[in-house]
Structure 1
Amino acid sequence: MILALPVMFILVGLFDVWVSKEKVQKHIGDASGIKGIMLIMLLAFLQAGPLYAAFPVAYILWRKG
């Protein structure tokens, strides 16, 4: 389980660099409506990783919009 932590930090860092704020706002921002809510729910259902890996991802999504 501890071996997954560095991998998760690398993936979160790559997500932060590769995905623009505008793209995140377009798909899950205030203007996305029910489509954005459904997308977030789908991603939450598919997440099979540990809870400690979800917090950095949630923080970056929150910071991007």
Structure 2
Amino acid sequence: MPYINIKVTDENVTKEQKRALIRGATELMVKVLNKEPSTTFVLIDEVNTDNWGIGYEQVSEIRNIIK
């Protein structure tokens, strides 16, 4: 019973994109490990950019610098 946890920043990920992530991750488990889709669980966590860091910086601060 595979459990896949996908974490993305909460920056406008659409329902269709989430559906594609779930389908793609499930298909990968089926193709690579021969797992059953009906027992493959996929969880998508959307993380606020204030709660995600790269190096010493919050992603929200990095995004402000890039703008």
Same fold (TM over 0.5): no
Q: Which has the larger Rg? A: 2
More strand by share: 2
